[in-house]
Structure 1
Amino acid sequence: MAYVDPKDFVREMVNSGESKCYMSSRDTFIRAFMAGAILGLAAFFAINVAVTTGSLLTGAILFPVGFIMLYLMKFDLLTGVFTLVPLAMLDRRRGITLRQVLRNWGWVFCGNFSGALTTAFFASFVLTYGYNVDGGLLAEKISIIGESRTVGYQEYGVAGWWTIFFRGMLCNWMVSMGVVGAMISTNAGAKMAAMWMPVMLFFFMGFEHSIVNMFLFPFSMIMGGQFTIADYLLWNELPTVLGNLVGGFMFVGLPLYLTHIRSGRERQLA
Protein backbone atom coordinates (compact mmCIF):
# COMPACT_ATOMS: atom_id res chain seq x y z
CA MET A 1 0.00 0.00 0.00
CA ALA A 2 3.10 2.26 -0.19
CA TYR A 3 2.81 3.41 3.43
CA VAL A 4 4.36 6.80 4.22
CA ASP A 5 5.98 7.30 7.63
CA PRO A 6 4.25 9.95 9.80
CA LYS A 7 7.39 12.08 10.00
CA ASP A 8 7.41 12.29 6.21
CA PHE A 9 3.72 12.97 5.67
CA VAL A 10 3.64 15.59 8.44
CA ARG A 11 6.44 17.39 6.62
CA GLU A 12 4.26 17.16 3.53
CA MET A 13 1.43 18.74 5.52
CA VAL A 14 3.66 21.72 6.26
CA ASN A 15 4.73 21.94 2.60
CA SER A 16 1.09 21.83 1.54
CA GLY A 17 0.21 24.65 3.94
CA GLU A 18 3.07 26.75 2.56
CA SER A 19 2.05 26.20 -1.07
CA LYS A 20 -1.53 27.22 -0.30
CA CYS A 21 -0.30 30.49 1.23
CA TYR A 22 1.58 31.32 -1.98
CA MET A 23 -1.22 30.28 -4.33
CA SER A 24 -2.77 33.12 -6.31
CA SER A 25 -6.14 34.53 -5.24
CA ARG A 26 -7.61 33.37 -8.55
CA ASP A 27 -6.52 29.76 -8.15
CA THR A 28 -7.44 29.70 -4.47
CA PHE A 29 -10.97 30.91 -5.24
CA ILE A 30 -11.48 28.51 -8.17
CA ARG A 31 -10.34 25.48 -6.18
CA ALA A 32 -12.46 26.51 -3.20
CA PHE A 33 -15.50 27.16 -5.41
CA MET A 34 -15.29 23.68 -6.91
CA ALA A 35 -14.79 22.10 -3.48
CA GLY A 36 -17.88 23.82 -2.08
CA ALA A 37 -19.97 22.89 -5.12
CA ILE A 38 -18.94 19.22 -5.05
CA LEU A 39 -19.42 18.86 -1.29
CA GLY A 40 -22.86 20.46 -1.59
CA LEU A 41 -23.79 17.96 -4.28
CA ALA A 42 -22.52 15.11 -2.09
CA ALA A 43 -24.67 16.34 0.81
CA PHE A 44 -27.72 16.58 -1.48
CA PHE A 45 -27.06 13.04 -2.66
CA ALA A 46 -26.54 11.62 0.84
CA ILE A 47 -29.67 13.28 2.28
CA ASN A 48 -31.68 12.07 -0.72
CA VAL A 49 -30.42 8.53 -0.14
CA ALA A 50 -31.19 8.72 3.60
CA VAL A 51 -34.74 9.99 2.98
CA THR A 52 -35.43 7.50 0.18
CA THR A 53 -34.11 4.45 2.04
CA GLY A 54 -35.02 5.58 5.56
CA SER A 55 -31.44 4.78 6.57
CA LEU A 56 -29.13 7.58 7.76
CA LEU A 57 -26.29 5.04 7.86
CA THR A 58 -26.63 4.38 4.13
CA GLY A 59 -26.44 8.10 3.41
CA ALA A 60 -23.40 8.42 5.69
CA ILE A 61 -21.64 5.51 3.97
CA LEU A 62 -22.09 7.15 0.56
CA PHE A 63 -21.43 10.80 1.49
CA PRO A 64 -17.58 10.50 1.47
CA VAL A 65 -17.67 10.01 -2.31
CA GLY A 66 -17.86 13.80 -2.72
CA PHE A 67 -15.06 14.46 -0.24
CA ILE A 68 -12.83 11.97 -2.03
CA MET A 69 -13.54 13.50 -5.46
CA LEU A 70 -12.64 17.02 -4.38
CA TYR A 71 -9.52 15.88 -2.51
CA LEU A 72 -8.17 13.92 -5.48
CA MET A 73 -8.71 16.98 -7.69
CA LYS A 74 -6.73 19.08 -5.16
CA PHE A 75 -9.66 21.39 -4.46
CA ASP A 76 -9.67 23.15 -1.08
CA LEU A 77 -12.13 23.17 1.79
CA LEU A 78 -11.99 25.66 4.64
CA THR A 79 -11.84 22.75 7.07
CA GLY A 80 -8.67 21.47 5.42
CA VAL A 81 -6.83 24.79 5.23
CA PHE A 82 -7.68 25.43 8.90
CA THR A 83 -5.50 22.40 9.65
CA LEU A 84 -2.68 22.75 7.12
CA VAL A 85 -2.02 26.43 6.49
CA PRO A 86 -1.12 27.51 10.07
CA LEU A 87 1.60 24.84 10.13
CA ALA A 88 3.63 26.80 7.58
CA MET A 89 3.63 29.84 9.87
CA LEU A 90 4.35 27.68 12.91
CA ASP A 91 7.30 26.14 11.06
CA ARG A 92 8.57 29.65 10.25
CA ARG A 93 8.52 29.09 6.53
CA ARG A 94 9.96 32.09 4.70
CA GLY A 95 7.52 34.94 4.27
CA ILE A 96 4.53 33.16 5.83
CA THR A 97 2.74 35.57 8.16
CA LEU A 98 -0.61 35.67 9.92
CA ARG A 99 -1.81 38.04 7.21
CA GLN A 100 -1.12 35.41 4.52
CA VAL A 101 -2.84 32.72 6.57
CA LEU A 102 -5.94 34.90 6.99
CA ARG A 103 -5.86 35.84 3.30
CA ASN A 104 -5.94 32.15 2.34
CA TRP A 105 -8.77 31.43 4.77
CA GLY A 106 -10.75 34.41 3.47
CA TRP A 107 -10.51 33.39 -0.19
CA VAL A 108 -11.29 29.76 0.59
CA PHE A 109 -14.33 30.78 2.66
CA CYS A 110 -15.65 32.95 -0.19
CA GLY A 111 -15.00 30.25 -2.77
CA ASN A 112 -16.59 27.47 -0.70
CA PHE A 113 -19.65 29.59 0.03
CA SER A 114 -20.09 30.61 -3.62
CA GLY A 115 -19.78 27.01 -4.80
CA ALA A 116 -22.12 25.62 -2.15
CA LEU A 117 -24.69 28.34 -2.83
CA THR A 118 -24.55 27.59 -6.57
CA THR A 119 -25.26 23.91 -5.91
CA ALA A 120 -28.09 24.87 -3.53
CA PHE A 121 -29.70 26.83 -6.38
CA PHE A 122 -29.26 23.98 -8.87
CA ALA A 123 -30.61 21.38 -6.41
CA SER A 124 -33.65 23.45 -5.44
CA PHE A 125 -34.44 24.28 -9.09
CA VAL A 126 -34.22 20.65 -10.18
CA LEU A 127 -36.21 19.38 -7.20
CA THR A 128 -39.10 21.78 -7.85
CA TYR A 129 -39.04 21.90 -11.68
CA GLY A 130 -38.05 25.55 -11.66
CA TYR A 131 -40.00 26.34 -8.45
CA ASN A 132 -43.28 25.25 -10.02
CA VAL A 133 -44.02 22.31 -7.71
CA ASP A 134 -43.33 21.50 -4.11
CA GLY A 135 -40.19 19.60 -3.33
CA GLY A 136 -42.02 16.74 -1.62
CA LEU A 137 -40.66 14.69 1.25
CA LEU A 138 -37.04 15.66 0.59
CA ALA A 139 -37.83 19.39 0.74
CA GLU A 140 -39.79 18.87 3.96
CA LYS A 141 -36.92 16.95 5.54
CA ILE A 142 -34.33 19.57 4.58
CA SER A 143 -36.57 22.35 5.94
CA ILE A 144 -36.82 20.54 9.27
CA ILE A 145 -33.04 20.05 9.40
CA GLY A 146 -32.46 23.75 8.77
CA GLU A 147 -34.88 24.81 11.50
CA SER A 148 -33.66 22.32 14.10
CA ARG A 149 -30.03 23.30 13.56
CA THR A 150 -30.59 27.06 13.88
CA VAL A 151 -33.60 28.10 15.95
CA GLY A 152 -33.49 24.64 17.55
CA TYR A 153 -30.08 25.51 19.02
CA GLN A 154 -31.22 29.07 19.81
CA GLU A 155 -33.85 27.72 22.20
CA TYR A 156 -31.04 26.58 24.51
CA GLY A 157 -29.27 29.95 24.53
CA VAL A 158 -25.57 29.89 25.41
CA ALA A 159 -25.62 26.12 25.89
CA GLY A 160 -27.03 25.76 22.37
CA TRP A 161 -24.27 27.96 20.93
CA TRP A 162 -21.57 25.88 22.64
CA THR A 163 -23.24 22.70 21.43
CA ILE A 164 -22.81 23.89 17.84
CA PHE A 165 -19.20 24.88 18.57
CA PHE A 166 -18.33 21.46 19.99
CA ARG A 167 -20.11 19.67 17.14
CA GLY A 168 -18.06 21.78 14.73
CA MET A 169 -14.90 20.90 16.64
CA LEU A 170 -15.66 17.17 16.58
CA CYS A 171 -16.53 17.40 12.90
CA ASN A 172 -13.22 18.84 11.77
CA TRP A 173 -11.30 16.56 14.09
CA MET A 174 -12.66 13.74 11.94
CA VAL A 175 -12.58 15.52 8.56
CA SER A 176 -8.98 16.58 9.09
CA MET A 177 -8.10 13.02 10.01
CA GLY A 178 -9.41 12.19 6.55
CA VAL A 179 -7.26 14.89 4.94
CA VAL A 180 -4.17 13.71 6.80
CA GLY A 181 -5.08 10.06 6.33
CA ALA A 182 -4.91 10.52 2.57
CA MET A 183 -1.23 11.39 2.96
CA ILE A 184 -0.24 8.08 4.57
CA SER A 185 -0.02 6.32 1.22
CA THR A 186 0.88 6.99 -2.40
CA ASN A 187 -1.74 4.45 -3.48
CA ALA A 188 -5.08 5.93 -4.63
CA GLY A 189 -7.15 3.11 -3.15
CA ALA A 190 -5.47 3.43 0.23
CA LYS A 191 -6.01 7.20 0.19
CA MET A 192 -9.74 6.68 -0.46
CA ALA A 193 -10.08 4.15 2.36
CA ALA A 194 -8.27 6.42 4.83
CA MET A 195 -10.54 9.35 3.92
CA TRP A 196 -13.75 7.34 3.91
CA MET A 197 -13.88 6.23 7.54
CA PRO A 198 -13.62 9.52 9.49
CA VAL A 199 -15.81 11.44 7.01
CA MET A 200 -18.52 8.80 7.26
CA LEU A 201 -18.31 9.07 11.06
CA PHE A 202 -18.84 12.85 11.15
CA PHE A 203 -21.83 12.70 8.80
CA PHE A 204 -23.58 9.90 10.66
CA MET A 205 -23.03 11.56 14.05
CA GLY A 206 -24.60 14.83 12.88
CA PHE A 207 -21.53 16.96 13.57
CA GLU A 208 -21.44 20.46 12.08
CA HIS A 209 -19.38 21.06 8.92
CA SER A 210 -19.20 24.70 7.84
CA ILE A 211 -19.11 23.99 4.08
CA VAL A 212 -21.88 21.38 4.12
CA ASN A 213 -23.91 23.98 6.01
CA MET A 214 -23.17 26.61 3.35
CA PHE A 215 -25.18 24.36 1.04
CA LEU A 216 -27.70 22.95 3.47
CA PHE A 217 -29.07 26.13 5.04
CA PRO A 218 -29.61 28.23 1.89
CA PHE A 219 -31.23 25.13 0.36
CA SER A 220 -33.39 24.73 3.46
CA MET A 221 -34.49 28.39 3.31
CA ILE A 222 -35.44 28.04 -0.37
CA MET A 223 -37.42 24.93 0.53
CA GLY A 224 -39.42 26.83 3.16
CA GLY A 225 -37.39 26.52 6.34
CA GLN A 226 -38.67 28.95 8.98
CA PHE A 227 -35.49 30.74 10.01
CA THR A 228 -33.66 33.88 8.90
CA ILE A 229 -30.23 34.57 7.44
CA ALA A 230 -29.25 36.05 10.82
CA ASP A 231 -30.40 32.84 12.54
CA TYR A 232 -28.23 30.82 10.17
CA LEU A 233 -25.14 32.99 10.65
CA LEU A 234 -25.35 33.49 14.42
CA TRP A 235 -26.80 30.13 15.42
CA ASN A 236 -24.91 27.88 13.06
CA GLU A 237 -22.29 29.13 10.61
CA LEU A 238 -20.25 31.31 13.00
CA PRO A 239 -19.88 28.79 15.86
CA THR A 240 -19.43 25.98 13.33
CA VAL A 241 -16.54 27.78 11.61
CA LEU A 242 -14.87 28.50 14.94
CA GLY A 243 -15.37 24.91 16.08
CA ASN A 244 -14.00 23.60 12.78
CA LEU A 245 -10.91 25.78 13.23
CA VAL A 246 -10.22 24.53 16.75
CA GLY A 247 -10.96 20.90 15.96
CA GLY A 248 -8.80 20.71 12.85
CA PHE A 249 -5.77 22.61 14.10
CA MET A 250 -5.72 21.77 17.80
CA PHE A 251 -6.59 18.06 17.52
CA VAL A 252 -4.92 17.13 14.22
CA GLY A 253 -2.44 19.60 12.73
CA LEU A 254 -0.75 20.83 15.91
CA PRO A 255 -0.31 17.47 17.74
CA LEU A 256 1.13 15.81 14.63
CA TYR A 257 3.48 18.73 14.05
CA LEU A 258 4.68 18.86 17.65
CA THR A 259 5.34 15.15 17.98
CA HIS A 260 6.74 14.38 14.51
CA ILE A 261 8.44 17.63 13.44
CA ARG A 262 9.11 19.70 16.54
CA SER A 263 9.85 16.87 18.93
CA GLY A 264 11.72 17.55 22.15
CA ARG A 265 15.04 16.41 20.71
CA GLU A 266 14.66 18.51 17.55
CA ARG A 267 13.86 21.61 19.63
CA GLN A 268 17.11 21.08 21.55
CA LEU A 269 19.07 20.82 18.31
CA ALA A 270 17.35 23.85 16.70
Structure 2
Amino acid sequence: MSYLIPAEFVKKMIDAGEAKIFMSTRDTIIRAYMAGAILALAAVFAMTVSIQTGYAIIGAMLFPVGFCMLYLLGFDLLTGVFMLTPLAWLDRRPGVTLKGIFRNWGLVFLGNFLGAMSIAVFMSIIFTFGFSVTPDKVGTTISHIGEARTLGYAEHGAAGMLTIFVRAILCNWMVSTGVVAAMICTNVSGKILAMWMPIMLFFGMGFEHSIVNMFLFPSAMIMGGQFSIMDYLIWNELPVVLGNLIGGLAFTGLSLYATHYKTAARRVIPIPTQHKQIIVQPRHEY
Protein backbone atom coordinates (compact mmCIF):
# COMPACT_ATOMS: atom_id res chain seq x y z
CA MET A 1 0.00 0.00 0.00
CA SER A 2 1.12 3.59 -0.66
CA TYR A 3 -1.14 5.00 2.04
CA LEU A 4 -1.47 4.23 5.73
CA ILE A 5 -4.69 4.71 7.68
CA PRO A 6 -4.49 7.13 10.65
CA ALA A 7 -4.25 4.45 13.33
CA GLU A 8 -1.16 3.07 11.59
CA PHE A 9 0.70 6.31 10.96
CA VAL A 10 0.02 7.62 14.48
CA LYS A 11 1.83 4.57 15.81
CA LYS A 12 4.72 5.49 13.50
CA MET A 13 4.70 8.97 15.04
CA ILE A 14 5.01 7.53 18.55
CA ASP A 15 7.74 5.12 17.49
CA ALA A 16 9.65 7.96 15.84
CA GLY A 17 9.38 10.13 18.95
CA GLU A 18 10.68 7.31 21.13
CA ALA A 19 13.64 6.67 18.81
CA LYS A 20 14.65 10.33 18.85
CA ILE A 21 14.66 10.48 22.64
CA PHE A 22 17.12 7.58 22.87
CA MET A 23 19.34 8.76 20.01
CA SER A 24 22.98 9.43 20.94
CA THR A 25 24.14 12.98 21.55
CA ARG A 26 26.49 12.86 18.56
CA ASP A 27 23.85 11.65 16.13
CA THR A 28 21.22 14.07 17.43
CA ILE A 29 23.46 17.11 16.99
CA ILE A 30 24.75 16.07 13.56
CA ARG A 31 21.28 15.38 12.23
CA ALA A 32 19.97 18.63 13.67
CA TYR A 33 22.92 20.58 12.25
CA MET A 34 22.29 19.24 8.76
CA ALA A 35 18.56 19.91 9.03
CA GLY A 36 19.15 23.53 10.06
CA ALA A 37 21.66 24.05 7.26
CA ILE A 38 19.49 22.53 4.53
CA LEU A 39 16.39 24.45 5.63
CA ALA A 40 18.40 27.68 5.71
CA LEU A 41 19.63 27.06 2.16
CA ALA A 42 16.06 26.45 1.04
CA ALA A 43 14.96 29.69 2.72
CA VAL A 44 17.62 31.82 1.03
CA PHE A 45 16.87 30.08 -2.28
CA ALA A 46 13.16 30.88 -1.96
CA MET A 47 13.85 34.50 -0.99
CA THR A 48 16.31 34.92 -3.87
CA VAL A 49 13.78 33.64 -6.39
CA SER A 50 11.05 35.84 -4.91
CA ILE A 51 13.25 38.93 -5.15
CA GLN A 52 14.48 38.13 -8.67
CA THR A 53 11.02 37.43 -10.07
CA GLY A 54 9.02 39.87 -7.98
CA TYR A 55 6.53 37.12 -7.13
CA ALA A 56 6.62 35.83 -3.56
CA ILE A 57 4.37 32.91 -4.43
CA ILE A 58 7.10 31.41 -6.61
CA GLY A 59 9.49 31.37 -3.67
CA ALA A 60 6.80 29.74 -1.53
CA MET A 61 6.26 27.07 -4.15
CA LEU A 62 9.98 26.24 -4.22
CA PHE A 63 10.83 26.45 -0.51
CA PRO A 64 9.53 22.94 0.36
CA VAL A 65 12.41 21.38 -1.60
CA GLY A 66 14.61 21.88 1.48
CA PHE A 67 12.12 20.32 3.86
CA CYS A 68 11.70 17.31 1.58
CA MET A 69 15.46 16.80 1.36
CA LEU A 70 16.07 16.93 5.10
CA TYR A 71 13.13 14.65 5.86
CA LEU A 72 14.12 12.01 3.32
CA LEU A 73 17.68 12.07 4.68
CA GLY A 74 16.43 11.49 8.23
CA PHE A 75 17.53 14.84 9.71
CA ASP A 76 15.68 16.51 12.58
CA LEU A 77 14.09 19.92 13.07
CA LEU A 78 13.08 21.31 16.44
CA THR A 79 9.58 21.86 15.09
CA GLY A 80 9.26 18.15 14.36
CA VAL A 81 10.55 16.82 17.68
CA PHE A 82 8.26 19.26 19.50
CA MET A 83 5.38 17.24 18.10
CA LEU A 84 6.76 13.69 18.12
CA THR A 85 8.69 13.15 21.36
CA PRO A 86 5.90 13.98 23.86
CA LEU A 87 3.71 11.31 22.27
CA ALA A 88 6.13 8.60 23.40
CA TRP A 89 5.86 9.93 26.96
CA LEU A 90 2.06 10.06 26.80
CA ASP A 91 2.05 6.48 25.54
CA ARG A 92 4.19 5.51 28.56
CA ARG A 93 6.94 3.95 26.52
CA PRO A 94 9.56 2.33 28.80
CA GLY A 95 12.40 4.63 29.78
CA VAL A 96 10.84 7.73 28.23
CA THR A 97 10.99 10.65 30.68
CA LEU A 98 10.42 14.38 30.55
CA LYS A 99 14.13 14.82 31.19
CA GLY A 100 14.87 12.79 28.06
CA ILE A 101 12.43 14.90 26.03
CA PHE A 102 13.97 18.18 27.21
CA ARG A 103 17.45 16.81 26.49
CA ASN A 104 16.41 16.00 22.93
CA TRP A 105 14.85 19.43 22.44
CA GLY A 106 17.96 21.16 23.73
CA LEU A 107 20.34 19.20 21.49
CA VAL A 108 18.17 19.66 18.41
CA PHE A 109 17.86 23.39 19.11
CA LEU A 110 21.65 23.64 19.36
CA GLY A 111 22.25 21.64 16.19
CA ASN A 112 19.62 23.54 14.19
CA PHE A 113 21.05 26.87 15.31
CA LEU A 114 24.61 25.93 14.41
CA GLY A 115 23.55 24.68 10.99
CA ALA A 116 21.42 27.72 10.19
CA MET A 117 24.10 30.08 11.51
CA SER A 118 26.71 28.44 9.30
CA ILE A 119 24.60 29.13 6.22
CA ALA A 120 24.02 32.70 7.40
CA VAL A 121 27.79 33.25 7.43
CA PHE A 122 28.37 31.44 4.13
CA MET A 123 25.64 33.36 2.30
CA SER A 124 26.82 36.65 3.79
CA ILE A 125 30.22 35.97 2.26
CA ILE A 126 28.55 35.37 -1.09
CA PHE A 127 26.31 38.44 -0.88
CA THR A 128 29.27 40.72 -0.06
CA PHE A 129 32.13 39.08 -2.02
CA GLY A 130 33.86 38.11 1.19
CA PHE A 131 32.76 41.29 3.00
CA SER A 132 34.63 43.43 0.49
CA VAL A 133 31.55 45.25 -0.87
CA THR A 134 28.13 46.27 0.36
CA PRO A 135 25.45 43.53 0.29
CA ASP A 136 23.73 42.88 -3.02
CA LYS A 137 19.97 43.24 -3.52
CA VAL A 138 19.15 39.93 -1.85
CA GLY A 139 21.38 40.66 1.16
CA THR A 140 19.91 44.14 1.58
CA THR A 141 16.38 42.77 1.41
CA ILE A 142 17.19 40.17 4.06
CA SER A 143 18.47 42.91 6.38
CA HIS A 144 15.21 44.84 5.98
CA ILE A 145 13.15 41.70 6.61
CA GLY A 146 15.08 41.20 9.86
CA GLU A 147 14.21 44.73 10.97
CA ALA A 148 10.55 44.41 10.03
CA ARG A 149 10.13 41.12 11.90
CA THR A 150 11.69 42.33 15.13
CA LEU A 151 11.33 46.10 15.48
CA GLY A 152 8.15 45.94 13.42
CA TYR A 153 6.54 43.71 16.03
CA ALA A 154 8.00 45.74 18.89
CA GLU A 155 6.30 48.90 17.62
CA HIS A 156 2.93 47.32 18.39
CA GLY A 157 3.84 46.18 21.90
CA ALA A 158 1.58 43.45 23.30
CA ALA A 159 -0.39 43.30 20.05
CA GLY A 160 2.83 42.67 18.16
CA MET A 161 3.80 39.90 20.57
CA LEU A 162 0.38 38.30 20.17
CA THR A 163 0.70 38.48 16.40
CA ILE A 164 4.10 36.80 16.28
CA PHE A 165 2.91 34.14 18.73
CA VAL A 166 -0.14 33.27 16.61
CA ARG A 167 1.96 33.22 13.44
CA ALA A 168 4.31 30.76 15.15
CA ILE A 169 1.44 28.51 16.24
CA LEU A 170 0.00 28.38 12.73
CA CYS A 171 3.45 27.78 11.29
CA ASN A 172 4.18 24.60 13.15
CA TRP A 173 0.64 23.38 12.76
CA MET A 174 1.44 23.27 9.05
CA VAL A 175 5.08 22.15 9.34
CA SER A 176 4.26 19.27 11.68
CA THR A 177 1.39 18.35 9.39
CA GLY A 178 4.03 18.04 6.68
CA VAL A 179 6.00 15.63 8.89
CA VAL A 180 2.91 13.53 9.51
CA ALA A 181 1.87 13.67 5.87
CA ALA A 182 5.18 12.09 4.90
CA MET A 183 4.47 9.20 7.29
CA ILE A 184 1.11 8.59 5.64
CA CYS A 185 2.76 7.61 2.36
CA THR A 186 5.10 4.69 1.79
CA ASN A 187 6.68 5.78 -1.50
CA VAL A 188 9.02 8.70 -2.15
CA SER A 189 6.83 10.53 -4.65
CA GLY A 190 3.84 10.35 -2.33
CA LYS A 191 5.90 11.61 0.62
CA ILE A 192 7.20 14.59 -1.37
CA LEU A 193 3.76 15.61 -2.60
CA ALA A 194 2.19 15.22 0.83
CA MET A 195 4.92 17.28 2.49
CA TRP A 196 4.97 19.95 -0.18
CA MET A 197 1.46 21.29 0.36
CA PRO A 198 1.48 22.34 4.04
CA ILE A 199 5.08 23.59 3.86
CA MET A 200 4.26 25.78 0.86
CA LEU A 201 1.26 27.14 2.76
CA PHE A 202 3.27 28.15 5.82
CA PHE A 203 6.00 29.89 3.83
CA GLY A 204 3.59 31.62 1.48
CA MET A 205 1.56 32.98 4.40
CA GLY A 206 4.63 34.43 6.11
CA PHE A 207 4.24 32.42 9.32
CA GLU A 208 7.10 32.32 11.82
CA HIS A 209 9.40 29.28 11.85
CA SER A 210 12.05 29.18 14.56
CA ILE A 211 14.70 27.41 12.47
CA VAL A 212 14.24 29.58 9.38
CA ASN A 213 14.61 32.54 11.72
CA MET A 214 17.88 31.12 13.07
CA PHE A 215 19.23 31.82 9.58
CA LEU A 216 17.29 34.95 8.72
CA PHE A 217 18.12 37.15 11.69
CA PRO A 218 21.84 36.43 12.12
CA SER A 219 22.16 36.91 8.36
CA ALA A 220 20.22 40.19 8.54
CA MET A 221 22.49 41.46 11.34
CA ILE A 222 25.61 40.61 9.34
CA MET A 223 24.10 42.47 6.37
CA GLY A 224 23.66 45.60 8.45
CA GLY A 225 20.15 45.23 9.86
CA GLN A 226 19.54 47.85 12.53
CA PHE A 227 18.38 45.68 15.41
CA SER A 228 20.10 44.01 18.35
CA ILE A 229 20.52 40.45 19.51
CA MET A 230 18.03 41.14 22.31
CA ASP A 231 15.54 42.46 19.75
CA TYR A 232 15.93 39.18 17.87
CA LEU A 233 15.53 37.01 20.95
CA ILE A 234 12.67 38.86 22.64
CA TRP A 235 10.73 40.00 19.58
CA ASN A 236 11.16 36.88 17.50
CA GLU A 237 13.06 33.73 18.43
CA LEU A 238 11.77 33.03 21.95
CA PRO A 239 8.05 33.66 21.34
CA VAL A 240 8.33 31.83 18.02
CA VAL A 241 9.86 28.75 19.69
CA LEU A 242 7.01 28.71 22.22
CA GLY A 243 4.37 29.19 19.53
CA ASN A 244 5.93 26.45 17.39
CA LEU A 245 5.80 24.10 20.38
CA ILE A 246 2.12 24.73 20.99
CA GLY A 247 1.16 24.62 17.33
CA GLY A 248 2.87 21.34 16.57
CA LEU A 249 2.00 19.50 19.77
CA ALA A 250 -1.58 20.66 20.29
CA PHE A 251 -2.92 21.03 16.77
CA THR A 252 -1.16 18.07 15.17
CA GLY A 253 0.36 15.62 17.65
CA LEU A 254 -2.24 15.55 20.41
CA SER A 255 -5.25 15.84 18.12
CA LEU A 256 -4.15 12.81 16.08
CA TYR A 257 -3.07 10.86 19.16
CA ALA A 258 -6.36 11.48 20.95
CA THR A 259 -8.71 10.61 18.13
CA HIS A 260 -6.83 7.95 16.17
CA TYR A 261 -4.75 6.17 18.82
CA LYS A 262 -6.42 6.76 22.18
CA THR A 263 -9.85 6.65 20.62
CA ALA A 264 -13.15 7.30 22.37
CA ALA A 265 -15.04 4.45 24.03
CA ARG A 266 -17.13 2.17 21.89
CA ARG A 267 -20.92 2.45 22.01
CA VAL A 268 -22.78 -0.32 23.82
CA ILE A 269 -26.36 -0.98 22.67
CA PRO A 270 -28.37 -3.31 24.94
CA ILE A 271 -30.91 -5.73 23.42
CA PRO A 272 -33.39 -6.60 26.20
CA THR A 273 -35.04 -9.54 24.44
CA GLN A 274 -31.85 -11.52 24.17
CA HIS A 275 -30.15 -10.06 27.26
CA LYS A 276 -27.07 -9.49 25.19
CA GLN A 277 -25.11 -6.52 24.07
CA ILE A 278 -23.91 -5.52 20.64
CA ILE A 279 -20.69 -3.52 20.51
CA VAL A 280 -20.85 -1.16 17.60
CA GLN A 281 -17.51 0.00 16.31
CA PRO A 282 -17.28 3.52 14.87
CA ARG A 283 -17.36 3.41 11.10
CA HIS A 284 -14.30 4.88 9.41
CA GLU A 285 -14.05 5.64 5.75
CA TYR A 286 -10.74 6.71 4.26
Q: TM-score range by the shorter chain?
A: over 0.9
Partner of 1:235: 235
Partner amino acid, structure 2, of 1:184: I
SS at match of 1:131: coil
Partner of 1:180: 180
Q: Distance in 2 between matches of 1:137 and 1:117?
A: 20
1:75-97 CA distances to partner (integer Å, 9 max, x unpaired)?
A: 00000000000000010000111
1:173-196 CA distances to partner (integer Å, 9 max, x unpaired)?
A: 000110000011111000000000
TM-score (norm 1): 0.97
Gap regions ≥5 residues in structure 2:
267-286
Q: Distance in 1 between matches of 2:2 and 2:27?
A: 30
The Cα shift of 1:54 comes to: 0.4
Partner of 1:8: 8
Q: Distance in 1 between matches of 2:122 and 2:77?
A: 20
**Higher RCO, 1 vs 2 (CA within 8 Å, ≥6 residues apart):** 1
Q: How many residues are matched?
A: 266
Percent identity between matched residues is: 62
Partner of 2:257: 257
Partner of 2:41: 41
Does 1:217 pair with 2:244? no
Partner of 1:169: 169
Equivalent runs, 1:104-253 vs 2, <5 Å: 104-253=104-253
The Cα shift of 1:133 comes to: 1.1
The Cα shift of 1:143 comes to: 1.0
SS at match of 2:184: coil
Does 1:95 pair with 2:74? no
TM-score (norm 2): 0.92
1:191-220 CA distances to partner (integer Å, 9 max, x unpaired)?
A: 000000000000010000000000000000
1:123-156 CA distances to partner (integer Å, 9 max, x unpaired)?
A: 0001111001122211221111000000110011
Partner amino acid, structure 2, of 1:15: D
1:201-256 CA distances to partner (integer Å, 9 max, x unpaired)?
A: 00010000000000000000011100000000000000000000000000000000
Partner of 1:64: 64
Q: Distance in 2 between matches of 1:265 and 1:29?
A: 41
Q: Distance in 1 between matches of 2:73 and 2:265?
A: 37
Q: Distance in 2 between matches of 1:26 and 1:265?
A: 43
Q: Distance in 2 between matches of 1:121 and 1:59?
A: 21
Equivalent runs, 1:48-59 vs 2, <5 Å: 48-59=48-59
Does 1:17 pair with 2:17? yes
RMSD of aligned alpha carbons: 0.8
Q: Distance in 2 between matches of 1:35 and 1:58?
A: 23
The Cα shift of 1:265 comes to: 2.7
* Greater share of residues in helix: 1
Q: Distance in 2 between matches of 1:64 and 1:2?
A: 21
Q: Distance in 1 between matches of 2:84 and 2:167?
A: 20
SS at match of 2:255: helix
Gap regions ≥5 residues in structure 1:
none
Partner amino acid, structure 1, of 2:199: V
SS at match of 1:235: helix
Q: Distance in 1 between matches of 2:125 and 2:139?
A: 11
Q: Distance in 2 between matches of 1:7 and 1:184?
A: 10
